[in-house]
Amino acid sequence: MPFESRVPAGAIADKWDNYKNSAKLVNPANKRKYTVIVVGTGLAGGSAAATLAELGYNVKSFCIQDSPRRAHSIAAQGGINAAKNYPNDGDSVWRLYYDTIKGGDYRSREANVYRLAQISNNIIDQCVAQGVPFAREYGGLLDNRSFGGAQVSRTFYSRGQTGQQLLLGAYQAMCRQIEAGRIEMYARREMLDLVVSDGRACGIVTRNLVDGKIERFGGDAVLLCTGGYGNVYYLSTNAKNSNVTAAWRCYKRGAWFANPCFTQIHPTCIPVSGDYQSKLTLMSESLRNDGRVWVPKKTGDRRVPQQIPEDERDYYLERRYPSFGNLVPRDVASRAAKKETDAGRGVGETQLAVYLDFADAIQRHGRDRIEERYDNLFEMYQRITDENPYEVPMRIFPAVHYTMGGLWVDYALQSTIPGLFVLGEANFSDHGANRLGASALMQGLADGYFVIPYTLGNYLADADPGSTPDADAADFRAVEDKAMDRVNRLLGLNGKRTVMDFHRSLGRIMWDHVGMARNADGLKRAISEISALHESFWKDLRVPGDPDTMNKSLEFAGRVADFLELGELMARDALEREESCGGHFREEYSSTEGEAVRNDDDFAYAAAWAHDDAGAAVHKEKLNFETVTLTTRSYK
Amino acid sequence: MAKLMTIHLRVWRQRGPEADGRFVDYAVPGVNPDMSFLEMLDVLNEQLTLDSEDPIEFDHDCREGICGSCGLMINGIAHGPSARTATCQLHMRHYRDGDTIVVEPWRARAFPVIRDLVVDRASFDRIMSAGGYVSANTGAAPDANAIPIRKDDAEEAFDYAACIGCGACVAACPNSSASLFTGAKVAHLALLPQGEPERKRRAVGMVDQMAEEGFGDCSNHAECEAVCPKGISITAIALMRREYVKAVLG
């Protein structure tokens, strides 16, 4: 398949309409003759499965959890952006588009981002119609709040549980289709491989996580909606089961992986407390609306925060970025925190934290108003840290949160394997080198509710109805055998180290060298250390238990094996990109003030990595900017 | 540095749905009070793996109290001793050095054990499929601000919609009733104008499915409300009953 973005012709505001007007259609009576496999039931997968079933397709839906309602979209806290301009503060589709492409540091595809902004308003309408209880004003109309990287209030929210409410909306829409018999739901299934036949994606092989059975499923197209790969760092805000395996298997089968090094380190997470730590918890970015970030001016100041007088505090975001202040984008805020702790001004026991202080906001708005806005977040903070943020400032520190990179897709969300579509965080398409807050939910639902129903039809219209491949065919059996071999190989290792031990080691390498600040030496070191760890993994690992029962150690072993390969590719990608952009900060390419220095002449492209047995080769999709002028991103 | 503790665990082990289960005792040394309960189980599982024993299986995912995957009976209390807290958010600082803790799976006929502490909660999904939604096809929605909703109604609907579907309510109920879970969804949608057209069908469908799955009836013990990690009020059950009666009689 040629490597083309296939962006439709026309002015940017007309491209999506032009696409829809010329897309091929599948007639309603024929839709039921096509089977669509949807892997993952988060916002992207859930919304896609429900919508395609409503249209009349047969949908087979898969998730690794015990219920589709548990996908990790559920944990998104702050909100979802849309260009409704209900607050009348100057927002528009153009501004949402512009903020998103600028926020992504000009490393995303213009046309995709514009479409996202256009669709944003439909999403809010759809969710309200499903009964999503968004926050409202006393007049009964919807409330908005502001979020990092924007100077308008365009974020719709449901307290601090917006992801949960949107996901339950999509899940309930799925439930309706399950009842109607148009979605067959397969929970507790993990996709272990993709089946490609005659150059087209035509099915998947899964492991039933209850009884260990390896199973084959055929379909006319495969939609991969399996989220991001932040868990390559071991510690992240991702759920424990979030993993790259499904996407990585597709990569190994010929789908290209774009910008793997573009990861988002979120500035406001609860700091690490000890070696036993299994995951990190995000404190929503929305808190930066009312919280002020500071550190003591003196290095090594160990006084409790209440004893540090106002003039001995450095509100460094407000000082360095007066126009955006505490609402600078995530990458900027994270790096600024790192700069302070590197200089010895960190707070708390580990000194790897900064304060997020609500004292002023509580004084200004009253405790009631702050409780109404953030109470569940404050409660969660207290539960974890045993400190009361109404009285003591929160301690926060950056943590891995989201991955902008992912499988490369064209404008139609199709990967380099025909018939394999990639939606939501699993693809690379909309956020460039940095994602703005409240736009992951927007993208997941845009892809699932409003993009794929059109683009999938355009693909299927060229495939014969009823030509669903037989899952008993030799192609399927060969893939099944390979998956089974791998399971047996993992269980056959009889080393002395656990999966978690390897995962932690990988995470440490990634965080130290492929984290918030990167340099050539560190990246080269990461590559060689990961390679050694990878070798050791397949010798020294011990996986307990049996293949034919529930066996979470075995599940994790397969995922960590793939993370090891991905980690190396991330480091290579970061090494090749000799510039700083968004979340990718190369120390060699920074200004004297420590700000990122982009290189548009040489690196205004998406790096798409193709696998072959000899290694990985990079292909470059040049990003053409016709509507925006590339400027140095400034939030000063 | 916090003082490390030794915790004694008595854990339900069961190889499969048909196998007999039994309690097995373990000692976990070096427990840091800032660890979460599940992190303590991680530490134990690491040790079991190195000792060539099968680790203890338990469901978990987000570990921030929102996905509803985890759920353990801890000393006879669903999700353990902290109010409004899912198992994954329970921290060891609530225990003392030398404590013995009994850990069991949810026990209910409609939640068969899969392995060790993992149960099958697919019955909840089937209750949801029996009407726990608004039929609104993608693309057919009017403008989001077309129908104003009183702020108080929206807030109350949210309180019920906050259910994470963990099943603690069932585990805590002497009748193994799923009334709080079902009532929460019925109440959430009944309070909003979007839920109005299907409210009768929804109440009857979900309540009947709950019975069909083998969940018991509610007899107002309110144990469910006491253990609910989201603090959902049993007024949801009253509302569900009212909806059901109105649907059947009205």
Rounded to the nearest 10 degrees, the angle between the axes of helix B179-190 and helix B199-212 is 170
Examine domains A266-401 and A474-599 and report if their fold is the same: no
Total residue length of chain A: 636
Position A400 confidence tier, pLDDT thresholds 50, 70, 90: very high
Answer whether B81's CB lies under 8 Å from B73's CB: no
| Residue ranges per structural domain of chain B | 5-104, 122-249
Instruction: Tell me the average pLDDT across A306-313.
Output: 96
* pLDDT of amino acid A615: 85
In sequence order, what DSSP letters do the residues of A222-240 get, joined into one string?
EEE-----GGGGSSSSS-T
* Cβ-defined contact of B63 to A136 (cutoff 8 Å): no
Residue carrying structure tokens 């290189």: A599
Any idea which residues of A carry the catalytic annotation?
330
Average pLDDT, chain B: 97
Chain segment A170-206, per-residue pLDDT in tens: 999 999 999 999 999 999 999 999 999 999 999 999 9
Q: CA separation (Å) from B145 to A88, A222, B151?
A: 14, 36, 13
Residue A215 token pair: 């199973």
Architecture of the domain delimited by B122-249: Orthogonal Bundle (1.10)
> What is the distance in angstroms between the Cα of A461 and the nearest Cα belonging to chain B?
21
As to burial, measured by CB atoms within 10 angstroms (0-12 exposed, 13-18 middle, 19+ buried), residue A466 is: exposed
Q: Residue B197 pLDDT more than 60?
A: yes
* pLDDT of amino acid A432: 98
Q: Residue A54 pLDDT more than 80?
A: yes
- Residue A210's closest chain B neighbor by CA? B114
Judge whether B138 is closer than 8 Å to chain A, CB to CB. Answer: yes
Q: Which of A51, A64, A176 to mutate to test the interface with B (most CBs of B within 10 A)?
A: A176
* Cβ-defined contact of A129 to B93 (cutoff 8 Å): no
Alpha helices in A321-472 (DSSP H): 330-342, 359-365, 367-385, 440-445, 452-460
Strands A394-403 and A354-357: antiparallel
In this prediction, what percent of chain A has a pLDDT beyond 90?
92
Q: Residue A325 pLDDT more than 80?
A: yes
- Give the three-state DSSP class for A358: coil
| Residue ranges per structural domain of chain A | 266-401, 474-599
Instruction: Tell me the average pLDDT across A284-294.
Output: 91
Q: Residue A1 pLDDT more than 60?
A: no
Q: Residue B33 pLDDT more than 70?
A: yes
CATH number of B5-104: 3.10.20.30
* Cβ-defined contact of A380 to B64 (cutoff 8 Å): yes
Contacts of A216 (CB under 8 A, 6+ apart): A195, A203, A204, A205, A471, A472, A476, A477, A479, A480
* pLDDT of amino acid A66: 98
CATH number of A266-401: 3.90.700.10
Q: Residue B129 pLDDT more than 80?
A: yes
* Chain B residues 28-87 within an 8 A CB cutoff of chain A: 32, 34-36, 38-39, 42-43, 45-46, 48-50, 52-55, 57, 59-69, 82, 84-85
Chain segment A454-475, per-residue pLDDT in tens: 999 999 999 887 677 789 999 9
Position B250 confidence tier, pLDDT thresholds 50, 70, 90: confident
Q: Which positions in chain A touch B36 (Cβ < 8 Å)? A: 278
Q: Residue A29 pLDDT more than 80?
A: yes
* Chain B residues 144-173 within an 8 A CB cutoff of chain A: 144-145, 147-151, 154-155, 157-158, 161-162, 164-165
* pLDDT of amino acid A93: 98
Total residue length of chain B: 250
* pLDDT of amino acid A286: 85
Tell if the pTM clears 0.95, that is, is over it. yes
* pLDDT of amino acid A561: 98
Q: How many CB pairs under 8 A join A and B?
A: 215
* Cβ-defined contact of A498 to B194 (cutoff 8 Å): no
* pLDDT of amino acid B1: 58
CATH number of A474-599: 1.20.58.100
Instruction: Tell me the average pLDDT across A328-340.
Output: 93
Average pLDDT, chain A: 96
Instruction: Tell me the average pLDDT across B10-17.
Output: 97
* pLDDT of amino acid A2: 65
* pLDDT of amino acid A102: 94
Higher pLDDT, B210 or A286: B210
* Cβ-defined contact of B49 to A164 (cutoff 8 Å): no
Chain segment A218-277, per-residue pLDDT in tens: 999 999 999 999 999 999 999 999 999 999 999 999 999 999 999 999 999 999 988 999
Judge whether B199 is closer than 8 Å to chain A, CB to CB. Answer: no
* pLDDT of amino acid A636: 85
* Cβ-defined contact of A175 to B128 (cutoff 8 Å): yes
Q: Which positions in chain B touch A551 (Cβ < 8 Å)? A: 57
